[in-house]
Chains A and B, each alone.
Chain A
């Protein structure tokens, strides 16, 4: 960490010493904030009291925020060396902040989980800020890379279009395919499970098929089912069926002989054994499959739209707006897709925590 601090001090010195052109270079406010951040950081290292350290981290965060905000607002398009040195200093400062946060003792519970979120959030914000500043300072053409602020503006302006696309791609294509594909796979897995011969044959074939580029079936399904959402749902079904099948079959085999024998001594039938022992025991595997398929479903329905779609849908919008070089719209769609993807995944992860609370992997560490 001391190496980082030396680099930070060097960058700050360079930012102060380099000749400053009128108007364009880091203002006194920015340089002062950066100096305060350095002092705070050194003090943090010396301080041992926990409450003071938390306060110091907050102050360091604020000092860096002032410096970053000042730099972004002062940009005029004629940036020189001092400006870039200050940008590097802010980046190194964020790194120092994150490494201090990472040193905090890990505590269980909600508070600990919130503290663990600080570092990735700081990292994400730093990346966005550098993106913004670099695009502005270098005058990168908007048809190559729009700045995050423009993407955000586009995001809030075209909520209508984005919503229509989302409903078409996710609400119709991905969800329908996901439901049909996963449902069929679970039902089929129950059949497969009854016949060991079938299981020994289908598991290797299913594993093999799951590794293939099934996305390539998209043009075929578009021919069969037309441009609208049924063809997207069909692609998703083809993509999710085998991963789900393999996981469920493995899950149904997860009980050991002792447990099944116990059910037999209770004279439980196949159905009772399934409902009270084997399905609950299969749940960790089933949820693993559902989480994999949640990601695949969105990928499938977006890529299938590249092969033909009605005049709305996320994949359609991405491919046409790329053609029109409206990249801010493309990035807005990608941001929506990213949020949607992690939300859909997070939904299954949360449900998994509720359903398989008994499993070792879900116990709090």
Chain B
């Protein structure tokens, strides 16, 4: 309770600020409507009306929550194209679009992480790779590689590869570099004393790797996995913009084409929930693994 009280307070204050902000941002439209109809607008009606517009400049939090509920549960269970009536997920529901995004993100994340760990092992065990590849891996963290995303999508599309794979490639290369840098740091974490001890036991290279380097790299690996999975999701969403084949990025873009602000906010929150869920799962695995290894309470 002592730890959650401040957090809860901050969250409540933020939501309160949001509600306050809704009133001035949506007031202009209400006033225009009232002036056109020739009616007088009381302060109370104004406040209530700004909270329930169809296409608000800034939707109220409860509108976003209702839209989230409508476009997931209601759409799937009562909609004509929902899973309940048609047997397949509705292409108007955020469940469907979220799953499209999640699939590409996970595939890319797994590829990126695997390749990143392999390259990190190469860098740690090969001096030439360390000297030549590592500076580029670090430098690549500072450049906006996401600018490559539209090109990858369109080029792969033009050679006949579309759907999941191009988005997964973007997600993979965004999660790749954080994993490389973190894993190299982790595999180098054992100090000279520990490595010398392994030598006195005449441990082979494989044994040193399995029993010393790999275990001590785990905290670093999980820290970069959390960064990597969030980056992979951003990569997938941006990758969905140029070719409209479903996904949260498409919902964002189509919402902005048609001025459906509530839809944009709902897609944004779905993406946020997805990101938070993914990071939370990684954190949970981290806790389990570190506890079993005796590195966390």
Selected contact of B143 from candidates A222, A308, A342, CB within 8 Å? A342
Mask for B252-294, Cβ within 8 A of A = 1, else 0? Answer: 1101100101001101100110011001000000000000000
Nearest opposing residue in chain B for A296, CB measure: B144
Chain A residue numbers with a CB within 8 Å of B134 are 120
Name the distance in Å between A49's Cβ and chain B's nearest Cβ: 21
Chain B residue numbers with a CB within 8 Å of A204 are 7
> Are A144 and B253 CB-contacts (below 8 A) given A200-B3, A213-B230?
no
Chain B residue numbers with a CB within 8 Å of A295 are 141-144
Nearest opposing residue in chain A for B229, CB measure: A211
Chain A residue numbers with a CB within 8 Å of B253 are 219, 307
Chain B residue numbers with a CB within 8 Å of A323 are 154
Stretch in contact with the other chain, from B40-48, B81-89, B123-131, B206-214: B123-131
B146 touches A208 (CB 8 A): no
Q: Is B133 an interface residue (CB 8 A)?
A: yes
Q: Is A124 an interface residue (CB 8 A)?
A: yes
Q: Is A99 an interface residue (CB 8 A)?
A: yes
Interface size on B, residues (CB 8 A): 57
Chain A residue numbers with a CB within 8 Å of B237 are 213, 215-216
> Are A98 and B146 CB-contacts (below 8 A) given A201-B6, A208-B276, A216-B252?
no
Rounded to whole angstroms, the CA-CA distance of A98 and B135 in the bound complex is 13
B147 touches A318 (CB 8 A): yes
Q: Is the interface of B mostly helix, strand, loop or mixed?
A: helix
B147 touches A103 (CB 8 A): no
> Are A103 and B127 CB-contacts (below 8 A) given A144-B159, A211-B279, A341-B143?
yes
B268 touches A342 (CB 8 A): no
> Are A337 and B128 CB-contacts (below 8 A) given A198-B10, A201-B9, A205-B11?
no
Q: Is A188 an interface residue (CB 8 A)?
A: no
Question: How many residues of A sit at the interface, in one of the four size bands?
Answer: 35 or more
Chain B residue numbers with a CB within 8 Å of A345 are 142
Mask for A103-126, Cβ within 8 A of B = 1, else 0? Answer: 100000000000011011011100
A143 touches B158 (CB 8 A): yes
Q: Is A14 an interface residue (CB 8 A)?
A: no
Chain B residue numbers with a CB within 8 Å of A119 are 128, 131-132, 135
Stretch in contact with the other chain, from A65-73, A128-136, A274-282, A297-305: A297-305
> Are A216 and B142 CB-contacts (below 8 A) given A208-B276, A330-B151?
no
Rounded to whole angstroms, the CA-CA distance of A331 and B145 in the bound complex is 11
Q: Is A52 an interface residue (CB 8 A)?
A: no
Chain B residue numbers with a CB within 8 Å of A325 are 154, 158
Rounded to whole angstroms, the CA-CA distance of A59 and B269 in the bound complex is 60
Q: Is B136 an interface residue (CB 8 A)?
A: yes
A197 touches B6 (CB 8 A): yes
Q: For residues 235 through 253 of chain B, which have their beta carbon under 8 Å from a beta carbon of chain A? A: 237-238, 241-242, 248, 252-253
Known contacts A201-B10, A303-B146; 8 additional CB pairs below 8 A are A199-B6, A211-B275, A212-B275, A213-B271, A223-B259, A291-B142, A314-B147, A330-B151
Name B residues whose Cβ lies closer than 8 Å to a Cβ of A. 3, 5-11, 14, 57, 127-128, 130-136, 139, 141-144, 146-148, 150-151, 154-155, 158-159, 226, 230, 233-234, 237-238, 241-242, 248, 252-253, 255-256, 259, 261, 264-265, 267-268, 271-272, 275-276, 279
Between A and B, 28 residue pairs with Cβ closer than 8 Å are A95-B128, A98-B132, A102-B131, A119-B132, A120-B136, A122-B132, A124-B136, A143-B158, A197-B6, A199-B6, A201-B8, A208-B276, A211-B230, A211-B276, A212-B272, A213-B272, A223-B259, A295-B143, A298-B144, A303-B146, A303-B238, A318-B147, A318-B151, A325-B158, A330-B151, A337-B144, A338-B143, A346-B142
